[in-house]
Amino acid sequence: MNKPHKARKRFGQNFLQDSHIIHQIVMSIDPMPDDHLVEIGPGQGAITQPLLDSQCRLDVVELDRDLVDRLNTQFSHLDRFTLHSADALSFDFAALKKDKPLRIIGNLPYNISTPLLFHLLSQAAHIQDMHFMLQKEIVNRLEAQLGSKQFGRLSIMIQLHCQVEALFDVEPECFNPQPKVMSSIVRLTPHAAPPYAIDNMPLFERIVRSAFSQRRKTIRNTLKGICNDEVFQATQIDPTSRAEALSINDFVNLSNHLKYE
Ligand code: SAH
């Protein structure tokens, strides 16, 4: 018998221990035998085992070498299981793809969730869907719409690439050790066809980042040096607005208009 694993804070380890919630998560994912799943941060296998029960193919990416050894002992006899001892932040997910797009799953370490989401979005063409446990506050920002306080750069960049569905909340008591915050499960489904035609993505990202860099300032101020009053006039966007009053479409219009300056 292995010694019990001591949770490491620096790896963002909060292990799921509530069988009802684990069941609810696996039901939401609804894995099929011919699915190709990838689990990020399997930890002690709380979700890994029930996922494998569906007979799916499963790759897992785990950073903590102690846990890698345990997972190997537990699951490596299955040839549909592959363990990658690696950092998900720099992992090449697209390289795992065989014939079907990947389904990504993870009870993610909260300290790396935003950079990890951006890393995965860069490979969205190879992904069927993603189910993540995140801090509830992050899920609120992912799904926030124009007019809401949480609407910002994260909402825009995620909604450009994915449909966002907040599924349900998970109480701190469901984990060991318990996180200090409420968590939520979210489903992200990359759009089959891009809903917005953006001519120059780096320029678009620059505008969104600058506009939200100081939320209380007007966009005339935050976008100084990028957009002048003629651009605002041509796109019919009020330069005295704040970033949170602009729709995704407004940002698309601004950046596409600039390209033709
Ligand atoms: N899925 C498990 C564990 C969640 S805790 C459960 O629900 O119980 C988060 C897991 O992510 C831990 O196993 C931690 O070691 C792992 N992890 C942390 N940073 C990581 C990274 N950069 N890449 C891959 N795994 C990471």
3-state helix, strand, coil in the chain (%, to 5): 40, 20, 40
Cβ of 62 closer than 6 Å to ligand 1, yes or no, is yes
Mean pLDDT confidence for 237-256: 95
Q: Determine the distance separating the centroid of ligand 1 and the alpha carbon of 17, expressed in angstroms.
A: 14
Does pLDDT of 2 surpass 80?
no
Calpha distance 186→48 (Å, rounded)? 18
Cβ of 45 closer than 6 Å to ligand 1, yes or no, is no
Residue of minimum CA distance from atom 16 in ligand 1: 41
- Give me the DSSP letters along 103-148: EEEEE--GGGHHHHHHHHHTTGGGEEEEEEEEEHHHHHHHH--TTS
What's the pLDDT at 261? 52
> pLDDT tier at 54 (50, 70, 90 boundaries)?
very high
> pLDDT tier at 203 (50, 70, 90 boundaries)?
very high
> pLDDT tier at 211 (50, 70, 90 boundaries)?
very high
Residue of minimum CA distance from atom 10 in ligand 1: 41
> What atom in ligand 1 is closest to the CA of residue 41?
11
Cβ of 109 closer than 6 Å to ligand 1, yes or no, is yes
pLDDT in tens, 74-94: 999 999 999 999 999 999 999
> pLDDT tier at 38 (50, 70, 90 boundaries)?
very high
Mean pLDDT confidence for 113-140: 96
Q: Determine the distance separating the centroid of ligand 1 and the alpha carbon of 63, expressed in angstroms.
A: 7
Q: Determine the distance separating the centroid of ligand 1 and the alpha carbon of 193, expressed in angstroms.
A: 32
What's the pLDDT at 3? 76
Quote the mean pLDDT of the chain: 95
Does pLDDT of 177 surpass 90?
yes
Cβ of 13 closer than 6 Å to ligand 1, yes or no, is yes
What's the pLDDT at 130? 98
> pLDDT tier at 120 (50, 70, 90 boundaries)?
very high
Domains along the chain with CATH numbers: 9-190 (3.40.50.150), 201-259 (1.10.8.100)
What's the pLDDT at 260? 58
Q: Determine the distance separating the centroid of ligand 1 and the alpha carbon of 44, expressed in angstroms.
A: 9
Mean pLDDT confidence for 213-242: 94
Q: Burial letters for 67-80: b for 16+ Cβ neighbours within 10 Å, e otherwise?
A: bbebbeebbeeeee
